[in-house]
């Protein structure tokens, strides 16, 4: 695998030097365009393969070299084609930076990719990426940026009639306002997400909405309401076979029962959550 990557890198380097030395005549522009696109396509195939086998940093390195090749001003004569290639490269890099939790570079790539989607009028991908970026900003406590992107995603999803995406964006906003302690707003957005999920019959999102509403009421110390919502979320998780979320529900129920002073029942739920986390190999939740 290292040999393939080295070969691609050597090809890109040699190719770039060749065209810098020889220059371009009017007749050779189309040949150049064809060859440079072939070189980048090969590099992207290898980069995605490296990403899939866990060689993430090497994949990023190859993408950066492809960006250098693509930045040649000659390619501006084929701007739509150039934009498509930039989109593919930044998409791969965004996935790679997310995988290694390099949030700063993930945001930088995501922003560039978002602009390209907007310029290309690719509203579907613009909405999906807006949510992904909002979640990264939220994880970094950059709440104003997260709020702006969730709002952008909602507008795009409504424009494209993507009801599922709209529900996810409303849920994201609800979680954001829960973190900010603005529970009335949080409840409103979770209720919107819940209504859409019921309307479209998406049981997975419906279950998460119940869990999120449970978190809101738990934060408000309304433990009975919180317990009701957690139980609804648990029932759906079991129905659809979502073991990870089932474990989360047991943990949430343990928390709320502990708050109610029902320690024996709380212990039972914590033990169920622990068993599931060990079963699915989720070490973080096992520790929790």
**DSSP single-letter state for residue 37:** H
Check residue 70 and give its pLDDT: 82
Q: Residue 11: which pLDDT band, with cuts at 50, 70 and 90?
A: very low
Single out the residue of 81, 68, 62, 57 nearest to residue 5, CA to CA. Answer: 62
Tens of pLDDT along 146-166?
A: 999 999 999 999 999 999 999
Q: Residue 27: which pLDDT band, with cuts at 50, 70 and 90?
A: low
> Does residue 137 or residue 9 have the better pLDDT?
137
Q: Residue 83: which pLDDT band, with cuts at 50, 70 and 90?
A: confident
CA dist 275 and 8 (Å) reads 47
Check residue 3 and give its pLDDT: 47
Check residue 175 and give its pLDDT: 97
CA dist 279 and 222 (Å) reads 32
Beta carbons within 10 angstroms of residue 15's beta carbon: 16
Tens of pLDDT along 228-277?
A: 999 999 999 999 999 999 999 999 999 999 999 999 999 999 999 999 99
CA dist 135 and 143 (Å) reads 10
């Amino acid at each position: 695998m290292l040999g393939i990557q080295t070969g691609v890198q050597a090809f890109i380097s040699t190719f770039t030097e060749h065209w810098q030395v020889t220059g371009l005549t009017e007749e050779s522009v189309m040949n150049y365009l064809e060859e440079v696109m072939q070189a980048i396509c090969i590099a992207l195939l290898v980069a995605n393969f490296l990403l899939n086998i866990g060689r993430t940093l090497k994949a990023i390195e190859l993408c950066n070299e492809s960006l250098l090749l693509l930045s040649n001003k000659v390619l501006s004569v084929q701007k739509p084609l150039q934009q498509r290639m930039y989109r593919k490269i930044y998409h791969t890099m965004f996935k790679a930076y997310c995988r290694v939790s390099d949030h700063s570079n993930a945001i930088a790539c995501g922003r560039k990719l978002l602009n390209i989607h907007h310029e290309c009028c690719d509203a579907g991908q613009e909405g999906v990426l807006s949510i992904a970026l909002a979640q990264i900003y939220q994880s970094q406590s950059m709440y104003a940026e997260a709020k702006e992107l969730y709002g952008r995603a909602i507008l795009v999803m409504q424009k494209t009639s993507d009801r599922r995406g709209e529900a996810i964006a409303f849920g994201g906003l609800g979680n954001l306002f829960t973190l900010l302690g603005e529970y009335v707003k949080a409840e409103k957005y979770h209720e919107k997400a819940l209504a859409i999920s019921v309307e479209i019959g998406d049981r997975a999102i419906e279950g998460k909405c119940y869990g999120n509403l449970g978190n809101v009421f738990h934060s408000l110390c309304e433990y009975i309401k919180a317990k009701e919502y957690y139980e609804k979320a648990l029932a759906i998780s079991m129905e659809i076979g979502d073991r990870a979320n089932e474990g989360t529900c047991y943990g949430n129920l343990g928390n709320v029962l502990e708050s109610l002073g029902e320690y024996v029942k709380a212990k039972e739920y914590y033990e169920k959550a622990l068993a599931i986390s060990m079963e699915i190999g989720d070490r973080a939740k096992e520790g929790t």
